[in-house]
Amino acid sequence: MKERVDVTDVGTPTRTTPRALGTTPRGQRGRRLAPYLFIAAAAVYLLLLTGAPLLDGLWLSLTDTQLLNPTEGAFIGIHNYSSLFADAEFAHALVVTIVYSTATVLGSLTVGTVAAVAMNGAFRGRVLARAILTFPWAVPSVAAVLIFSWIYNKDSGVLNQALSSVGLAQHGWLVDPTWSLFAVTLASVWKVFPFVMLVVLAALQAVPEELYEAARVDGADAFNRFRTVALPFLLPTLRVTALLMTIWSFRRFEIIWLLTQGGPVGSTNSLVISVYREAFVNSELGRSAAMGVVGLVLSTIVTVIFFYVDRGAARKEAL
């Protein structure tokens, strides 16, 4: 067996015979601890900044803590949870969250993928077009929301003006409960689709050009080339992107709050808006924390589903 030098002994003049690493108790201990030492900094960081607040939040959700007296909350068991699930408004917020997230994810994936496919082709001015399409992602949310507020304005917004110019009915996009969730979703898709576009564009550029050419020779039209050649390459990327978009949609706050503040009549009142309201308007920190935990559970369920789907796809790929 090949003899290994004990690195801890290097440079020790009294020892003349090199000893195998791990043969001494000290060496064995060093070998066992080394991996943990490498991840120690990251682990401490995560424990302090993620683990501790998470546990604190879980504890908070089991108390009746008030915003005005945050240190005096008493343990009340699962009372916050039972009251939440008996609350129709909370159930509505969950439905709004799921509808908003599903629509935003599907919308941004569709628009982002179509944009990426378009930007992947060779045409004059492609660099400029890519820069323009990336613009919404770079714009601060507040600025984007202000612009959308003007666009959606019932009386002077360009959307209503455009609709009336082609003879279609005008709507109160942000004040009519029928249209408000649609309007918020549309603004969210506009804001986030460039992220999908960039990720998908990067994935598309990894598709060998010869596969498209082979499909052309085999008689495939543009749709079939996309479906047979590009889409299988994109699916792993799309799955990860869908997961990220879903989690981000669950916790998206600024666009909804700045456009509608969860209104009108709760039509855009998603889970995070409810969490904010419960904590900072109703001062119910404990109940708010319970809502947050439900949101965390929702995100975890989505993540678990994603990993199951991804593992299944990977197994299928390996055949």
Partner 1 sequence: MPRIRFNGITKTYGDHEVIKTFSADVPDNEFLVLLGPSGCGKSTMLRMIAGLTDITAGELEFDGTVVNGTEPKERDIAFVFQSYALYPHLTVRANIAFPLLMSRFKPYHHLPVVNTLMRRRVLRDPDVDAQVRRVAAMMELTDYLDRRPRTLSGGQRQRVAVGRALIREPSMYLLDEPLSNLDAILRSQMRAEISDLHHRVGKSFVYVTHDQVEAMTMGTRIIVLNEGVIQQYGTPKEIYDSPANTFVARFIGSPPMNLIRCRLDGRSLRFPDGVTLKLPEGCASPSAPDRDVLLGVRAEKISVAPSDAVASDTMPAHIIVSEYLGAETVVAFKLGRRADQTEQDTVAKHDLQQARIPGELHLTPGADFTVRLDLTNVSFFDVDSGERLPVAVPEATR
Least Å distance, CB 220 to partner 1, is 5
Nearer to partner 1, 120 or 170 (CB): 120
Q: Beta partners for 63?
A: 75
CB of 102 to partner 1, least distance (A): 18
DSSP for 41-55, please give it: HHHHHHIIIIIHHHH
**Applying CB under 8 A, does 317 fall inside the site for partner 1?**
yes
For 75, the 3-state DSSP assignment is strand
Question: Given the complex with partner 1, which of 54 and 313 has the nearer CB atom?
Answer: 313
Q: Tell me how many residues contact partner 1 (CB under 8 A).
A: 20
Complex with partner 1: residue 175 or 240, whichever CB lies closer: 240
Question: Is residue 249 classed as helix, strand or coil in its secondary structure?
Answer: helix
By beta-carbon proximity to partner 1, the closer residue of 21 and 207 is 207
Q: Please say which residue, 8 or 224, places its beta carbon nearer to partner 1.
A: 224
CB of 192 to partner 1, least distance (A): 24
Nearest to 61 by CA among 302, 299, 294: 294
Residues 189-228 that bind partner 1 (CB under 8 A): 208, 210-211, 213-221, 223-224, 227-228
**Closer residue to partner 1, CB minimum distance, 56 or 213:** 213
CB of 297 to partner 1, least distance (A): 32
Q: Does 229 bind partner 1 (CB under 8 A)?
A: yes
Minimal distance, residue 101 CB to partner 1, in Å: 22
Q: Which residue has the tokens 């918020």?
A: 184
- Does residue number 110 form part of the binding site for partner 1 (CB under 8 A)? no
Nearer to partner 1, 89 or 317 (CB): 317
DSSP string, 267-281: TT--HHHHHHIIIII
Nearest approach in angstroms of CB 159 to partner 1 is 30
- Rounded least distance, CB 211 to partner 1, Å: 5
Q: What are phi and psi of 148, to 5 degrees?
A: -65, -35
Nearer to partner 1, 19 or 216 (CB): 216
For residues 253 and 273, the answer to whether their CB atoms sit within 8 Å is yes
Tokens representing 64 are 């009746």
Q: How far apart are CA 173 and CA 160, in angstroms?
A: 9
- DSSP string computed for 110-146: HHHHHHHHHHHS--TTHHHHHHHHHHHHHS-HHHHHH
Distances (CA, A) of 319 to 106, 179, 211, 233, 315: 29, 47, 21, 16, 7
* Binding-site string for partner 1 from residue 129 to residue 148, where x marks contact by CB under 8 A and - marks none: --------------------
Mask: binding to partner 1, 232-261, rule CB under 8 A, as x and -? x-----------------------------
What Å distances lie between residue 83 and 22, 64, 91, 136, 287, CA to CA? 58, 12, 11, 40, 9
Question: Measured from the CB of residue 317, what is the shortest distance to partner 1 in angstroms?
Answer: 7
Chain residues binding partner 1 by CB under 8 A are 208, 210-211, 213-221, 223-224, 227-229, 232, 317, 319
